Chain A
């Protein structure tokens, strides 16, 4: 998938665990785990907004795009 998530990088920067993030944003640990592992097929804006609010970052800090042809 060309869209990559850097959630683990942001969690390390904010010194927060996935469980803590799950409690703060109100999203299940299972769903956040899917996002972190890059298995998610779509992300709701409401989810992105909640994560960015808690981690005090922009969407671009969590999401990245890599062209598969360049890879």
Chain B
């Protein structure tokens, strides 16, 4: 009984926290949208001031050693810092629209998490059942959103690399570079969440069978 009460309390706390985060996100979203529109049209850099994109330098460096041996190595990557007020309209639309889409996806995930904990709280209050049919869909949706977010990131970086960046000059020399494609973590996370949704589905079926066992 003590353990059940503790579980219910934990779920209630998480339900409250996600609700609070959701309210803050919803309040921030229209402000972010207004500031983004001003950014795009006026170019004042209200939202972030700069865009930061991680890049890999494709630069071979020759190092001379004492015995005249040469070692060729590549410099580590860095970041491309782009002040918003120096960007063209195309750049601003690209960077800001990506930020808004990613923010909206994040808010949607928060809403789904709040819904999951809300349904768990209601169910645990009445019948101590945590395996609910609706939550299977919600967990799967979170997994799909992570995968979609990774694809959005990939598409935007391709757009930036191929349409917005003509050349990159480093210490007076034109240097080839690529934008880091760090979206694989999100895809892996999305797949893991989909596996968890499948396990949860099996749990729901087992629970349903147990409830219909007389």
Contact = CB atoms under 8 A, between A and B. Distances in A.
Contacts, number: 23
A58 interface: no
Contacts of B208: 41
Contacts of A40: 212-214
A35 B212 CA distance: 9
The size class of the interface chain B forms with chain A is under 10
B184 to A, nearest CB: 42
B209 interface: yes
Interface in A14-37: 27, 31-32, 34-35
Interface residues of A, number: 12
Interface centre among B208, B209, B212, B214 (most CB of A within 10 A): B214
A54 to B, nearest CB: 14
B211 to A, nearest CB: 9
Interface in B160-214: 208-209, 212-214
Nearest to A41: B212
A53 interface: no
Interface in B97-121: none
Interface in B28-69: none
Contacts of B209: 41-42
A34 B210 CA distance: 12
A42 B211 CA distance: 10
B213 to A, nearest CB: 4
A34 B214 CA distance: 8
Given A40-B213, A42-B212, 9 more contacts: A31-B214, A34-B212, A34-B214, A39-B212, A40-B214, A41-B212, A42-B213, A43-B213, A47-B214
